[in-house]
């Protein structure tokens, strides 16, 4: 199975990559149990999600929210056509991911040294070397690789990120077996016109790789950015149930764009996702209960339209 198997099913189909179990939870002060996370993943799949960022193989001592990746992968219901993605940042993480039986590996490579150093403890160049190592170790496993370029629209430490810098990172990624490259607005600073421009620049060098986008709604531009990506032809979008998530380097900020709110916008635009809006809204509310927090998502409060 390659990431492309999950790709466009036609121009009016948008594939949702549910990142709630990983990006949504990794910075929450409340740590969800392994059982709760298994339930979240299985329920998201039952609601129609076909790709889900289920676990992270980072050091559980550094990110206790993500502990228990092996137990989660052993506990979730597996079914054909559903991809459980594991985030991996080094060879040790990949070893664990392969042993745990992930369907797909995602590696995050920041576009900026400022973020990479503080978040991953190495320079971008060193991270690209780590990616090459991971890619080598992946050979023969049959597990597809996707790579997310973090801080592609701006960095909390380095500031503005020129498109050329992102293009350079993407160029290096095309030297690997990655079937998909995601552009991530990690701190939620981008605006729709930047999305269109960066996609154009990156599209020119992506060498046939599927492009995916990952937006945060930190400054209320996340949904406009998602729509700009769709208008530019992107058909794979990350989103997080309830709109949870965020960045430790932007503590006051809200999280990822919410799956339920994204579905509302896409479905009402005549686009299909295969994911149930009511199912997603219920799960977003459930996450709010478990985390004892009002979800940033609005659908649960406002209700769908027509009701």
Distance (Å, whole) CA 251 – CA 137: 35
In the set 223, 235, 255, 279, which binds a second copy (CB under 8 A)? 223
Please report whether residue 302 would count as binding a second copy according to CB under 8 A. Answer: yes
Classify the phi-psi angles of 128: left when phi > 0, otherwise alpha if psi is within -120 to 50, otherwise beta.
alpha
Distance (Å, whole) CA 24 – CA 55: 11
At 265, is the secondary structure helix, strand, or coil? helix
Site string for a second copy, 145-184 (x = CB under 8 A): ---------x----xx------------------------
At 215, is the secondary structure helix, strand, or coil? strand
3-state helix, strand, coil in the chain (%, to 5): 40, 20, 40
Please report whether residue 136 would count as binding a second copy according to CB under 8 A. Answer: no
Give the nearest distance from C-beta 106 to a second copy in angstroms.
Answer: 25
Give the nearest distance from C-beta 257 to a second copy in angstroms.
Answer: 8
Please report whether residue 285 would count as binding a second copy according to CB under 8 A. Answer: no
Please report whether residue 250 would count as binding a second copy according to CB under 8 A. Answer: yes
Please report whether residue 139 would count as binding a second copy according to CB under 8 A. Answer: no
How many residues bind to a second copy according to rule CB under 8 A? 39
Please report whether residue 1 would count as binding a second copy according to CB under 8 A. Answer: no
Q: 257 CB contacts (<8 Å, ≥6 apart)?
A: 215, 216, 217, 222, 223, 226, 237, 238, 239, 240, 243
Place of tokens 């199912």: 279
Measured from the CB atom, the residue of 76 and 226 that comes closer to a second copy is: 226
- Residues annotated as catalytic (active site), given as ranges: 247
Stretch that binds a second copy, among 73-81, 91-99, 171-179, 265-273 (CB under 8 A): 265-273
Distance (Å, whole) CA 118 – CA 150: 13
Measured from the CB atom, the residue of 78 and 301 that comes closer to a second copy is: 301
For the record, the structure tokens of 45 come out as 């799949």
Stretch that binds a second copy, among 14-22, 47-55, 234-242, 295-303 (CB under 8 A): 295-303
Q: Can you give the length of the chain in residues?
A: 307
Binders in 79-118 for a second copy, by CB under 8 A? none
Burial of residue 39, with CB atoms counted within 10 A of its CB: 0-12 exposed, 13-18 middle, 19 or more buried: middle
In the set 258, 283, 285, 287, which binds a second copy (CB under 8 A)? 258
Please report whether residue 297 would count as binding a second copy according to CB under 8 A. Answer: yes
Q: 172 CB contacts (<8 Å, ≥6 apart)?
A: 128, 131
Burial of residue 77, with CB atoms counted within 10 A of its CB: 0-12 exposed, 13-18 middle, 19 or more buried: exposed
Q: Is residue 166 within 8 Å of residue 130, measured between CB atoms?
A: no
Helix (H) / strand (E) element for 16: namely strand 15-18
Give the nearest distance from C-beta 45 to a second copy in angstroms.
Answer: 24
Please report whether residue 3 would count as binding a second copy according to CB under 8 A. Answer: no
In the set 87, 124, 189, 198, which binds a second copy (CB under 8 A)? 189
Measured from the CB atom, the residue of 121 and 303 that comes closer to a second copy is: 303
Give the nearest distance from C-beta 57 to a second copy in angstroms.
Answer: 30
Binding site for a second copy (CB under 8 A): 154, 159-160, 187-189, 191-194, 217-221, 223-224, 226-228, 250, 252-254, 257-258, 261, 264-265, 268-270, 297-299, 301-302, 305-306
């Amino acid at each position: 199975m390659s990431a492309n198997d999950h790709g466009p099913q036609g121009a009016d189909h948008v594939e949702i990559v549910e990142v709630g179990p990983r990006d949504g939870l990794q910075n929450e002060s409340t740590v969800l149990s392994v059982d709760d996370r298994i339930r979240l993943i299985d329920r998201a799949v039952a609601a129609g999600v076909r790709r889900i960022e289920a676990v992270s193989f980072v050091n559980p001592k550094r990110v206790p929210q993500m502990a228990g990746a092996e137990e989660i992968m052993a506990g979730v219901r597996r079914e054909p056509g559903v991809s459980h993605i594991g985030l991996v940042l080094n060879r040790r993480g990949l070893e664990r991911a392969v042993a745990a039986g992930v369907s797909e590996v995602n590696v995050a490579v920041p576009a900026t040294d400022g973020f990479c150093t503080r978040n991953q403890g190495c320079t971008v160049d060193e991270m690209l070397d780590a990616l090459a190592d991971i890619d080598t170790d992946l050979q023969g496993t049959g597990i597809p690789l996707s790579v997310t370029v973090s801080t592609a629209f701006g960095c909390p430490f380095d500031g503005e990120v020129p498109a050329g810098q992102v293009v350079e990172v993407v160029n290096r990624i095309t030297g690997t077996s990655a079937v998909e490259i995601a552009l991530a607005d990690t701190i939620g600073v981008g605006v729709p016109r930047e999305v269109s421009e960066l996609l154009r620049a990156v599209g020119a060098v992506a060498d046939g790789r599927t492009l995916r986008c990952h937006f945060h709604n930190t400054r209320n531009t996340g949904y406009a950015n998602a729509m700009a990506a769709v208008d530019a032809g992107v058909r794979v979008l990350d989103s997080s149930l309830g709109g949870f998530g965020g960045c430790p380097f932007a503590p006051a900020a809200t999280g990822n764009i919410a799956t339920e709110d994204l579905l509302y916008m896409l479905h009402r635009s005549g686009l299909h996702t295969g994911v149930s809006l009511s199912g997603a809204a219920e799960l977003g509310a459930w996450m709010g209960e478990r985390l004892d927090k009002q979800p940033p998502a609005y659908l649960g409060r406002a209700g769908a339209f027509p009701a």
